[in-house]
Structure 1
Amino acid sequence: MNPSTSDISGPSGPNRRTLLRYGSVAGLGALASAAPFLRPEGAAAAAVGGPEPTAPELKLTKFRDSLRIPPVLRPREHGDHDELTVRMRTADVTVHSQMPAVRMWTYEGVFPGPTIRTVSGRPLRIVWENRLTGNMPVEAVDFGSATGRSPDPLTNYPGTSGTQVVPGVADLAPWAAVHLHGMLTGGGNDGWMENLIGPGEVQLSAYPNKQAATTLWYHDHTHHVSRFSVYAGLAGMFLSRNEEEDALGLPDGARDVPLILCDRNFGVDGSGNPTGRLVHKVEMIGPRRLMRAHAAPYTLVNGVVWPYLEVRPRWYRFRIVNAANSRIYRLMLLADGRPVPGALRVIGTDQGLIDKPLAVEGALNLSPGERADVLVDFGAFRGRALKLVNTLEGLTPGASDKLEDLLEPDVMQFRVADRRPSDRFSLPKTLSPTFERLSRHDVPHDAVSRWVVVVGPGSGNVPELWEMEEVEATGLTFPAGGVVQVRDAGGTVRTLRRTAMSYEDGAAFTAARGGVEIWNYLNLAASPHPMHIHLSHFQVLSRESYDITGFDRATRGSAKPVAFEAALPLEAHELGEKDVIRVGTAGRIAPNATLGELVTVAVRFPVVGRGVHHCHMLEHEQHMMRPLVVSPAGHSGAGGHAGAGGHAGAGGHAHMGH
């Protein structure tokens, strides 16, 4: 199986479905090295905008380089399925024209990796081939003070001055495990993080591809070190299309633009100029050396630092992926320094199109691993420059905040050509007629209910993920370690006892294929956590705030029940089918916060096998990950034997989503 052709833009016209399946044979290497920055096909000459300075310590000029569009890979038809080979390669990648190329681990020599485009419903087999060379191309360092947080942490700046080396990272060999994030495939093809392949070896994965047209992404999932391997460059986008989507006539070709967001840091030379050496830098707080969420000062979009994109005064479609290790992006579009309300219109979520377009009136909050499919109409902005910025709750959009690692808030610039709008596209009233938005009444009354509680750092000085079981309170003394009481909106008090915490602990949650379960994520920690469930997809039923003053942090149990405070609205990108959900505020982190969050989701399990559920902050994967098993319905009770602990049995069944 050979890689097919690399195209700069997607096909359009009556033969789209055929073109999506086929491509003439061509190598990616020549395309990747031909030009570091490629102008999207059909882009108009810009009349406005231009480079801008940033903070002096960051050295690089903003909006100097154009947005790079990743090359496209299309699989070849082979009988009843499609086939593709994707090679992992070590490569030097240009991320900004004012700094040397960056040594990275990549897919097919480019960062991000090629966009894989497929037709939904066509089974796909991919050979992931490891041709990586050398050791981990990332210098890992940390810093900190025994007296607490710095008001201007070193994570705001490039270089390693004032830090110490994290041992063992520089010598990591190029092992890999590829996870096609969001693909509903069995456990044997999911990229199990301990089934590693070394250089010269291949991972063979079969993907049913039986899901809605959607935006997925693929990335490395190597156990214990994914925070470094993904940071090194092992990430790319996966798109599928179907007839339902094609019938909408959405912006296509050069107006269907992937935006893969991440942040990176680099080493510096004697003059403070970035050298192109990747630096993973984190702050360790206080005498316990508690790790802050990773943050870096340079924002990359499609592998380019602070790029610009030339657009025409027409509608555009943007597939946005948050591929950062830990940073939450609160995105706003600014014109003349002011937010444009409703400029971003969400048409799809992690797992496909929603029923109707939804305008984003505030910020579009994407936590690591989340995706949003949005439309933007540039028709009212001819001859003007706009900015996409990252902001914080309570902060003036476009302003910086050193304390929260937001020295440079700009993400990218759009330069709208000064020409008469000529767009026949109009926003559809209906997007996916097959999508159904769930309510609690749609979930079977006998559906299994799970509880997952997120708490702050414990004896291991890292945040913890607790799997819980509901028990009777009789005979218990409060507070008790690992026991949490919850008073819901109706006044009912539930007593939850921890059953597992570390990856190696005991029996796993075991669900039934085709079943529907309710998962309750309760966050008792200061930080938000994006929760991801493999082998499944889900809809968010509710988000609620809870008074968590009853949780005793010393004993790590409830002195009194944590109690319902208020129902919170769901955001536009949370109203469709998903596989990642943020649990906790997307605003500023308050270490002594009195409010936590309960997010409830209805989960469907269409495939079988052994997978995991975990926090998608990559720095948390090692200690906030638990196994998950999905079995064929009825298998656990066959022969009269009870299943493993936490088994769901047959579970409830319901029609969900697409």
Structure 2
Amino acid sequence: MEPTASEAFEPSGLNRRALLRCGTMAGLGALVAAAPLLKSQGAVAVSAGAGGPEPSAPELKLTKFRDPLRIPPVLRPRDRGGYDELTVRMRTADVTVHSEMPPVTMWTYEGVFPGPTIKTVSGRPLRVVWENRLSGNIPVKAVDFASPTGRAPDPLTNYPGTAGTQEVAGVAGLEPWAAVHMHGMLTGGGNDGWMENLIGPGDVQLSAYPNAQAATTLWYHDHTHHVSRFSVYAGLAGLFLSRNEEEEALGLPDGARDVPLVLSDRNFDVDESGALVGRLVHKVEMIGPQKLMRAHAAPYTLVNGVVWPYLDVAPRWYRFRIANAANSRMYRLMLLADGKPVPGALKVIGTDQGLIDKPLAVDGALNLSPGERVDVLVDFSAFRGQALKLVNTLEGITPGASNKLNDLLEPDVMQFRVADQRPSGRFVLPETLSPTFKRLSHEDVPHDRAPRWVVVVGPGSTNVPELWEMEEVDPAGITFPTAGVVQVRDAEGAVVTLRRTAMAYDDGNTFTVAHGSTEIWKYLNLAASPHPMHVHLSHFQVLSRENYDISGFDRATRGSSRPIAFKAAAALEAHELGEKDVIRVGTAGQIGPNATVGELVTVALRFPVVGRGVHHCHMLEHEQHMVRPLVVSPAAHLQAGGGGHGHH
């Protein structure tokens, strides 16, 4: 095969030339099956550090830190002159996730979970043939269980198997339809993986990606309408990396020290003896007489498709590209040494859409909601001969401690074993990362038109959370509370009255925006839990996060009896200061009811591509009912048609 423009960048996984010889990776499945828990080549040369396997909670039956972290194989496109080209096949495969249990049947990209990491060069247009070769019905057993008197103090979601549950009707027979969304790629609506344009086995989805954006970490995943919570859970997810000269000039850790960490949680079935079997179980708790569905959570944490892995590292700087690919779990990550948090250990250098201007140390925990990515650097040179843990924790508990009530029976994520050798390498943390990145200022955002309002509301008559699109109205003549009407009092005391214009996916009044425009969107969370909001066809910066008293919202009437009132400004987190495509709206990791604590997050969105897309909650269990269409149209078309800012 002829060299491609991207071959200057060495992969951190399997041998580059061996993969290139595979063409469209016809032999990749057999290659990975032969080495189900293969380490990266560079990691093999690192001397073993301290640490070792540890027992997990007895009910979980698996040993922690027994298996090495698996680095996903790398796919690079062919050079076709003015663009690059790639074929990626979906197929059913048996995947080893832990050496102490049988392989798990999954729907995959190219036979591996997560799918191969696609590596490209920014500015090189890319065409991908997504080929559906999946077989059989969905390899997921979906069950739920009732807690009629309220949340269970130790819910069944903490444990494997299906005892005490009932099967969810209609899931077992799902056939392998698919729609691939390149999450974060700024591509037009026709190539975005529209969730209703499905392909069946033997069919292909042809997608053209401009790839005209900053060097960054994106991810691709299934986006099939109504059932993405099951299809992604079945294994249809993988990473996409792009590089450019600006990033290369920084001399960041590369090769085996540039490590992807794809986080997810899964549950598995057991046989009659209680032993784990290779079948995925999607289990949720239904609370109270209304049977309100809790956010999905599973007891086994997977990193790059391995349950509680370990990674041998040298006492040097490493780069970790962390992606939360879980259905609904929010990861509140800390690095522990000797059981205690290491302050500032994680240095954020990039966010969803690329590098930021300067490194930022994480103060406390790194909160990562589903769909978010973060690029961090970690220096292990001070920990030679030690073992460190990356853990998931919750606010209000000791980092590394268990919490059954909140589905955290086993908080460990992975182990780092630092070699007992002299630190090597001359990497110095750059003072400046991306000179082209710029935080938006007051002058950069529009002030001549009203912002868009999107309000997240707790379960109503349909027993599921709701996403309301709103418009500002004159309060004259309105009796409060009125269903679908919310008043908000800001920090200056000004009150705005909002009326719901759309809620269900097929309601009218679609947000229609002008191509090339910048808009202000305000996300107000009136629910008791956080929600990660994702907007297709755009990228944005977060301008502010503010706490609001939402006790004035009448949950029975579904409107405000008195204004939702500003309480205090809140700080943005380090990974929220760059270019984004997902933002958490609501407090992360909080224990206990927060029914009177709301949050208003203001973002400035840019729309560089045109077409029809969606904006939605990225908790996949909410995606089918917290999703609304979005249309980006050439400005001249809007003017010629008599449209403009507002609704279509």
- Pairwise TM-score range, normalised by the shorter structure: over 0.9
2:40 is the alignment partner of 1:40: yes
Per-residue CA distance 1:519-557 (angstroms, 9 max, x = gap): 000000001000000000000000000011111111010
Q: Which amino acid aligns with 1:542?
A: S
**Which residue in 2 is equivalent to 1:620?**
622
**Which residue in 2 is equivalent to 1:641?**
642
Q: Which amino acid aligns with 1:386?
A: L
Q: Which amino acid aligns with 1:382?
A: R
Q: Where do 1:261-340 residues align within 5 Å?
A: 261-340=263-342
Counterpart Cα distance in 2 of 1:330 and 1:317: 19
Counterpart Cα distance in 2 of 1:544 and 1:471: 23
SS at match of 2:301: strand
Counterpart Cα distance in 1 of 2:134 and 2:575: 36
SS at match of 1:573: helix
Q: Where do 1:72-111 residues align within 5 Å?
A: 72-111=74-113
Kept after mapping to 1: 8 A contact 2:394/2:591: no
Structure 1 residues 642 and 573: alpha-carbon distance in aligned structure 2, compared to 1, 3 A threshold: closer
SS at match of 2:247: helix
2:391 is the alignment partner of 1:389: yes
Structure 1 residues 311 and 224: alpha-carbon distance in aligned structure 2, compared to 1, 3 A threshold: same
Counterpart Cα distance in 1 of 2:339 and 2:53: 16
Q: Find runs of 4+ consecutive structure 1 residues off by over 6 angstroms.
A: 1-7, 21-24
Which of 226, 229, 242 is the matching residue for 1:227?
229
Q: Which amino acid aligns with 1:30?
A: A
Counterpart Cα distance in 2 of 1:144 and 1:588: 24
Corresponding residue pairs, total: 640
Counterpart Cα distance in 2 of 1:176 and 1:5: 30
**Which residue in 2 is equivalent to 1:404?**
406
Structure 1 residues 2 and 484: alpha-carbon distance in aligned structure 2, compared to 1, 3 A threshold: farther
**Which residue in 2 is equivalent to 1:345?**
347
Unaligned runs of 5+ in 2: none
**Distance apart, 1:592 and its partner CA:** 5.1
2:182 is the alignment partner of 1:180: yes
Kept after mapping to 2: 8 A contact 1:3/1:86: no
**Which residue in 2 is equivalent to 1:10?**
10
Q: Where do 1:336-485 residues align within 5 Å?
A: 336-485=338-487
TM (norm. structure 1) is 0.95
2:203 is the alignment partner of 1:207: no
Counterpart Cα distance in 2 of 1:6 and 1:338: 41
2:31 is the alignment partner of 1:31: yes
Counterpart Cα distance in 1 of 2:642 and 2:116: 48
Per-residue CA distance 1:271-317 (angstroms, 9 max, x = gap): 32210110000000000000000000000000000000000000000
**Distance apart, 1:446 and its partner CA:** 1.9
Q: Where do 1:475-624 residues align within 5 Å?
A: 475-588=477-590, 590-591=592-593, 593-624=595-626
Kept after mapping to 1: 8 A contact 2:6/2:121: no
**Which residue in 2 is equivalent to 1:656?**
none
Kept after mapping to 1: 8 A contact 2:446/2:520: no
Kept after mapping to 1: 8 A contact 2:396/2:591: no
Kept after mapping to 2: 8 A contact 1:523/1:598: yes
Counterpart Cα distance in 2 of 1:73 and 1:101: 24
2:132 is the alignment partner of 1:133: no
Counterpart Cα distance in 1 of 2:559 and 2:160: 41
Q: Where do 1:162-181 residues align within 5 Å?
A: 162-181=164-183
SS at match of 1:635: helix
Which of 62, 65, 77 is the matching residue for 2:64?
62
**Distance apart, 1:3 and its partner CA:** 14
Q: Which amino acid aligns with 1:350?
A: D
Counterpart Cα distance in 2 of 1:362 and 1:447: 38
Q: Which amino acid aligns with 1:602?
A: A
Counterpart Cα distance in 1 of 2:21 and 2:491: 56
Counterpart Cα distance in 2 of 1:355 and 1:134: 48
Q: Which amino acid aligns with 1:508?
A: T
Structure 1 residues 2 and 454: alpha-carbon distance in aligned structure 2, compared to 1, 3 A threshold: farther
Counterpart Cα distance in 2 of 1:199 and 1:99: 29
**Distance apart, 1:590 and its partner CA:** 3.9
Counterpart Cα distance in 1 of 2:469 and 2:180: 26
**Which residue in 1 is equivalent to 2:150?**
148
SS at match of 2:461: coil
Kept after mapping to 2: 8 A contact 1:143/1:162: yes
**Distance apart, 1:145 and its partner CA:** 2.2
Q: Which amino acid aligns with 1:292?
A: R
Counterpart Cα distance in 1 of 2:480 and 2:455: 17
Counterpart Cα distance in 1 of 2:134 and 2:172: 15
Kept after mapping to 1: 8 A contact 2:513/2:644: no
Counterpart Cα distance in 2 of 1:643 and 1:574: 30
**Distance apart, 1:591 and its partner CA:** 3.8
**Distance apart, 1:146 and its partner CA:** 1.4
Counterpart Cα distance in 1 of 2:498 and 2:131: 45
**Distance apart, 1:80 and its partner CA:** 0.1
Q: Which amino acid aligns with 2:334?
A: M
**Distance apart, 1:4 and its partner CA:** 9.7
Structure 1 residues 447 and 373: alpha-carbon distance in aligned structure 2, compared to 1, 3 A threshold: farther
**Distance apart, 1:609 and its partner CA:** 0.1
Q: Which amino acid aligns with 1:417?
A: A
Kept after mapping to 2: 8 A contact 1:23/1:75: no
Per-residue CA distance 1:215-234 (angstroms, 9 max, x = gap): 00000000000000000000
Counterpart Cα distance in 2 of 1:520 and 1:22: 46
The percentage of aligned residue pairs carrying the same residue is: 81
**Distance apart, 1:40 and its partner CA:** 1.7
Cα RMSD after superposing both structures: 2.0
SS at match of 2:382: helix
Per-residue CA distance 1:325-363 (angstroms, 9 max, x = gap): 000000000000000000000000000000000000200
Counterpart Cα distance in 1 of 2:636 and 2:4: 42
Q: Which amino acid aligns with 2:362?
A: V
**Which residue in 2 is equivalent to 1:242?**
244
Structure 1 residues 367 and 443: alpha-carbon distance in aligned structure 2, compared to 1, 3 A threshold: same
Counterpart Cα distance in 2 of 1:64 and 1:3: 38
Kept after mapping to 1: 8 A contact 2:48/2:312: yes
Kept after mapping to 2: 8 A contact 1:4/1:23: no
Structure 1 residues 23 and 599: alpha-carbon distance in aligned structure 2, compared to 1, 3 A threshold: farther
**Which residue in 2 is equivalent to 1:49?**
51
**Distance apart, 1:466 and its partner CA:** 0.2
Structure 1 residues 438 and 52: alpha-carbon distance in aligned structure 2, compared to 1, 3 A threshold: same
Counterpart Cα distance in 2 of 1:46 and 1:508: 57
Q: Which amino acid aligns with 1:641?
A: G
Structure 1 residues 23 and 512: alpha-carbon distance in aligned structure 2, compared to 1, 3 A threshold: farther
Q: Which amino acid aligns with 1:211?
A: Q
SS at match of 1:57: helix
Q: Which amino acid aligns with 2:92?
A: T
Kept after mapping to 1: 8 A contact 2:549/2:566: yes
Per-residue CA distance 1:180-231 (angstroms, 9 max, x = gap): 0000000000000000000000000000000000000000000000000000
Structure 1 residues 305 and 4: alpha-carbon distance in aligned structure 2, compared to 1, 3 A threshold: farther
**Which residue in 1 is equivalent to 2:255?**
253
**Distance apart, 1:641 and its partner CA:** 3.5
Q: Which amino acid aligns with 2:501?
A: T
Q: Which amino acid aligns with 2:196?
A: E
**Distance apart, 1:147 and its partner CA:** 1.1
**Distance apart, 1:45 and its partner CA:** 2.4
Kept after mapping to 1: 8 A contact 2:91/2:110: yes
**Distance apart, 1:387 and its partner CA:** 0.2
